[in-house]
Amino acid sequence: MVVLVLIVTFVLLFVIGVPIAFCLGISTLFTMLMTMDFTPAVTTISQRMAGGVNSFALLAIPLFILSGQLMAQGGIARRIIDFSKALIGSVPGGLAFVNVISCALFGAISGSAVAATSAIGGFMIPEMEKEGYDRDFNAAVTATASTSGLLIPPSNILIVYAVASGGVSIAALFVAGYAPGILLAVSIMFVCGIYARRHGFPAGARVPFNVLWRCTLAAVPSLFLIVLVIGGILGGIFTATEAGAIAVLYAWLLSAVFYREISLADLGQILLKSAETTAIVMFLVGTSMAMSWLLAYQNIPTLVAETLVDLSDNPIVILLLINLVLLMVGIFMDMTPAVLIFTPIFLPVAVELGMSPLHFGIMMVLNLCIGLCTPPVGSILFVGCAIAKTSIGKIVRPMIPMYAAMFMALMVVTYWPGFSEFLPRFFGLID
């Protein structure tokens, strides 16, 4: 009964347009009031919200958000596009490949799929249209490709999962995300290649070596952020949280001093935007942690685990069911609250099946990446449609093969643990 009240209250608030963080907090408080008095309920939810954000690991999130904002406005996107164009733009369908690679690289550097869609799409969507590519296809490529950067570190959502899971190594998650992130990008590129072949897109002009060299040199300082963060963590020079501060300093030096794309006058707006984003994320974390506590208090994770086991004793079937549920969740819910709410529910089930928390985290994040570009709530879709000046209904059709490719990548990651765990094990981050 209590769970039913929680679900109904949350859905009703969500349907009428209440922001997701308030949906989580209000539905949790309302449900708690059914089992305890007002003062204990308010006190408990306040304590859980405060305790949820009281984590040293979460300190990395505002730092990586700030570094992403600096990079997004620091001329990084243009240099990454030029580099990708010079590297692979000469093959048939090259501009589509350039779009995918640029989105993946910029998404990894900025830590934001929305930023990647906006920055890369703002240039690549019109550029592809000039070369004869369909506008709806261009928007679809940009939206789906931007999600791959969320698996390639530094990734805020992997930090959130580390906190929600109760202590999975952030360094191990960062390293584990490389192969799945690249697989996701390659899967989308495969679809783009088939599309280019069917529509007979010509190969672009071959770029002289001196131009390739110049574009590479211009992009290397930007791409070095990934090497700096991961190299420093793996080398034991700094922690993942300290890496966020290093990323901010490097992003500012790169954007303001080296590229000279950001002035001191721009910093105020950048800091304000970063603070707004951080406030939203932290409020989501706090309210999600309160709901997670309520679910645990009502033994929901145990009930879900028992229900799934009753449905089937086959690990393949159970993992498929978990993926299908998360795909449905991703349609209506953003990644951060989804990770915080469903990690405590499904992680015990996955562990009972022999899946490591690291492997489950990568699977979950990849799964929810698909939700980011799935209507009706997919935030990336709205940005992509706005840039391409088209509608969600029009870009869904060209996205269907990309959805299929992303789902196949998800299945590979789900049922092949070594694909995610090889690199962390190689670097001694897991046993």
Could you tell me the CA-to-CA distances from 295 to 76, 162, 288, 327, 347 in Å, in that order?
A: 43, 19, 10, 20, 14
Whole-number Å distance between alpha carbons of 281 and 277? 6
Using one digit for the tens of pLDDT, what is the confidence trace for 156-203? 889 889 988 887 888 899 999 999 999 999 999 999 888 888 877 766
For residue 46, is it within any domain?
Answer: no
- Judged by DSSP in three states, 203 sits in strand
Cα R_g (the chain), whole angstroms: 22
Amino acid letter, 388: A
**118 within some domain:** yes
Which residues have CB under 8 Å from 155's CB, separation 6+?
A: 108, 111, 173, 174, 177, 365
In the three-class reduction of DSSP (H, G, I as helix; E, B as strand; rest coil), residue 92 is classed as strand
Which residues of the chain register pLDDT less than 70?
A: 1, 89-90, 202-205, 376-378
Q: Has residue 51 been placed in a domain? A: no
In a domain, 188, yes or no: yes
HEC string of 214-271 equals: HHHHHHHHHHHHHHHHHHHHHCCCCCHHHHHHHHHHHHHHHHHHHCCCCCHHHHHHHH
Domain span holding position 137: 57-426
Token representation of residue 45:
């939810």
Q: What is the pLDDT at residue 408? A: 96
65 lies in some domain: yes
Establish if 40 belongs to a structural domain. no
**What confidence tens digit (pLDDT) does each residue in 276-320 have?**
888 888 888 888 888 878 877 777 777 777 777 777 778 899 999
Residue 313 in any domain: the answer is: yes
pTM (predicted TM-score): 0.86
Specify the number of domains making up the chain: 1
Residues in the chain: 431
12 occurs within a structural domain: no
